[in-house]
């Protein structure tokens, strides 16, 4: 059986890892898929010193590689949605299969890319776009295909998880830990995508589509970052039996799909609450299987390469198979995707952690309770601390039952209007994940 001719676009961290895994494990891969996977051309701006490319042709024109008639499959590892999109669509137009690790490209342009691939009868693999080396896309698309997925929740950005872990374990401030994350290479010089939740929202958009059978809708994902979190809130959460994680949550409701990324209190006893450092984890709840947890390295040279090569093997196994007999790109047949709406955050429902800094006046607690009660918000627990600092403000910490966000925002506005409350109310959502 003839080998699969592969071209790799991008020879950076993931591209170099993919090349090395393909070379090192060539015999094992052949045993698994019955074909040799042969890298015949690489498009890169510079040579990766960690890769022994030997006599393999290296060019600087990724579009020329995408048009190369001798290549069966193009691996796009450039990143972003500029030239990367052009490379992917060019490869598809020329009848080539595509594998990518580009979450932004899939989340934003995936609907167009999958439609073009279907027209041309080729496959697009993107396992490496979400959670690095964790095969969570395959698990949802195939392993859980017999389930109606109820919800999923994930720690899907290692940088944010590293920062929150350091804040909890060592009592460090956000800005201090962010500088270390940049020094260690976990965060970019501009860390916005990581700390503001954009990276996680790209990944959550993809997971929600394959879980619920809806088109990719990144523009409707609610994102909230971790830059405003303080060690005080991390410590208060711990005292209440919770951990704060930067969580992506997608949930099916009667009204539509919740799609949101934000700091979240999770009970400390949950396995996912104990995922620390740069590691990732995704919980998926299905009606038949219940809750399942997928844990592992969310980034890195070879963990991500593991997912890229897995897609290569999948496509190589079915290279002679008609495109309509392969696994649908978003798990559900294209003409069966649902028009269930993605809900605005105001319509989403969750429990809440509130921290209110109030003057030490009689009746403050009664006023707080009255405002919440008038809006149908039930208090689960309350903790009042001693006055702090020279201003003598008393921290009041509340956990509420589940309530629609719009009602909670109305309550917070009323709380902040009280004469005794002189700083903004801190609000963090709470998920039990049970």
pLDDT per residue over 327-360, tens digit each? 888 888 888 899 999 999 999 999 999 999 998 8
Task: Supply φ then ψ for residue 175, to 5 degrees.
Answer: -60, -35
Q: How far apart are CA 101 and CA 107, in angstroms?
A: 11
Q: How far apart are CA 272 and CA 336, in angstroms?
A: 32
Let me know the angle formed at the C-alpha of 124 by 122 and 125, rounded to the nearest 5 degrees.
Answer: 140
Most distant CA pair in the chain, distance: 83
Name the segment(s) of the chain with CATH classification 3.30.360.10. 136-297
Pick from 36, 34, 86: nearest CA to 63: 86
Name the segment(s) of the chain with CATH classification 3.30.70.260. 348-430
Q: Are 37 and 319 in contact (CB under 8 A)?
A: no
pLDDT at 318: 87
CATH of domain 136-297: 3.30.360.10
pLDDT at 291: 97
Q: Output 96 or 385, whichever has higher pLDDT.
A: 96
The residues pairing with 427 across neighbouring beta strands, listed in sequence order, are: 354
The residues pairing with 349 across neighbouring beta strands, listed in sequence order, are: 404
Q: How far apart are CA 149 and CA 116, in angstroms?
A: 27
pLDDT per residue over 150-173, tens digit each? 999 999 999 999 999 999 999 999
pLDDT at 199: 96
> What is the average per-residue pLDDT within 100-129?
96
**Model's pTM, two decimal places?**
0.94
The CA distances from residue 260 to 204, 250, 310, 348, 364, in Å, are 8, 7, 29, 9, 33
> What is the average per-residue pLDDT within 71-83?
94
Q: How far apart are CA 128 and CA 263, in angstroms?
A: 24
> What is the average per-residue pLDDT within 239-244?
96
pLDDT at 266: 98
Select the CATH number that applies to the domain covering 4-133+301-336 from these four: 3.30.930.10, 3.30.565.10, 3.40.50.720, 3.40.50.10190: 3.40.50.720
Band (pLDDT 50/70/90 cuts) for residue 388 is low
Does the structure show a pLDDT above 70 at 322? no
Does the structure show a pLDDT above 90 at 393? no
pLDDT at 1: 74
The CA distances from residue 178 to 151, 159, 238, 297, in Å, are 31, 9, 21, 20
Marked catalytic residue, from 203, 220, 245, 385: 203
Does the structure show a pLDDT above 90 at 261? yes
Does the structure show a pLDDT above 60 at 390? no
Band (pLDDT 50/70/90 cuts) for residue 88 is very high
Q: Output 336 or 109, whichever has higher pLDDT.
A: 109
> What is the average per-residue pLDDT within 19-24?
97
Band (pLDDT 50/70/90 cuts) for residue 325 is low
> What is the average per-residue pLDDT within 24-37?
94
The CA distances from residue 157 to 40, 128, 170, 254, in Å, are 33, 13, 20, 29
Does the structure show a pLDDT above 80 at 53? yes
The residues pairing with 315 across neighbouring beta strands, listed in sequence order, are: none
**DSSP reduced 3-state for 155:** strand
Band (pLDDT 50/70/90 cuts) for residue 391 is low
CATH of domain 348-430: 3.30.70.260
> What is the average per-residue pLDDT within 396-417?
97
120 is catalytic: no
Does the structure show a pLDDT above 90 at 118? yes
The residues pairing with 231 across neighbouring beta strands, listed in sequence order, are: none
CB under 8 Å to 166, separation ≥6 — which residues?
172, 177, 180
Name the segment(s) of the chain with CATH classification 3.40.50.720. 4-133+301-336
Return mean pLDDT, the chain: 94
Q: Poorest-confidence range of 36-40, 64-68, 137-141, 188-192? A: 188-192
Does the structure show a pLDDT above 80 at 320? no
Question: HSE-up of 333 (CA within 13 Å, CB side)?
Answer: 4
Instruction: Show the tokens assigned to 373.
Output: 């009660």
């Amino acid at each position: 059986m003839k080998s699969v001719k592969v071209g790799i676009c991008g020879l950076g961290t993931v591209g170099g890892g993919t090349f090395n895994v393909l070379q090192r494990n060539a015999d094992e891969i052949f045993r698994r898929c019955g074909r040799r996977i042969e890298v015949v051309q690489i498009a890169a701006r510079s040579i990766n010193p960690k890769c022994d490319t030997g006599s393999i042709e290296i060019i600087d024109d990724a579009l020329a590689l995408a048009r190369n008639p001798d290549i069966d499959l193009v691996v796009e590892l450039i990143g972003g949605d500029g030239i990367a999109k052009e490379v992917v669509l060019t490869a598809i137009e020329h009848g080539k299969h595509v594998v990518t690790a580009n979450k932004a490209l899939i989340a934003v342009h995936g609907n167009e890319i999958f439609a073009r691939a279907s027209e041309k009868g080729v496959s697009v693999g993107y396992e490496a776009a979400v959670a690095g080396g964790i095969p969570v896309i395959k698990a949802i698309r195939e392993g859980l295909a017999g389930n109606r997925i109820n919800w999923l929740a994930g720690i899907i950005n290692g940088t944010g998880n590293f920062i929150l872990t350091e804040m909890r374990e060592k009592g460090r401030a956000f800005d201090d830990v962010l500088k270390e994350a940049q020094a260690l290479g976990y965060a970019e010089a501009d860390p916005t995508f990581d700390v503001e939740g954009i990276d996680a929202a790209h990944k959550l958009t993809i997971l929600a589509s394959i879980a619920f059978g809806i088109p990719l809708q990144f523009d409707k994902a609610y994102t909230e970052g971790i830059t405003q979190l303080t060690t005080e809130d991390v410590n208060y959460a711990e005292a209440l039996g919770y951990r704060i994680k930067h969580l992506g949550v997608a949930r099916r409701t009667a009204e539509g799909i919740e799609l949101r990324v934000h700091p979240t209190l999770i009970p400390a006893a949950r396995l996912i609450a104990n995922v620390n450092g740069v590691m990732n984890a995704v919980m998926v709840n299905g009606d038949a299987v219940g809750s399942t947890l997928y844990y592992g390295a969310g980034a890195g040279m070879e963990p991500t390469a593991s997912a890229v090569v897995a897609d290569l093997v999948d496509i190589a196994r079915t290279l002679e198979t008609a495109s309509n007999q392969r696994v649908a790109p978003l798990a559900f047949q294209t003409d069966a995707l649902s028009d269930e709406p993605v809900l605005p955050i105001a319509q989403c429902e969750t429990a809440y952690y509130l921290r209110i800094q109030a003057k030490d006046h009689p009746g403050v607690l009664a006023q707080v309770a009255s405002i919440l009660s008038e809006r149908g918000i039930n208090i689960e627990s309350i903790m009042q601390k001693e006055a702090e600092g020279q201003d003598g403000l008393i921290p009041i910490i509340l956990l509420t039952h589940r309530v629609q966000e719009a009602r909670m925002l109305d309550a917070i506005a009323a709380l902040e209007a009280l004469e005794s409350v002189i700083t903004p109310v801190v609000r963090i959502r709470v998920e039990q994940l049970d």
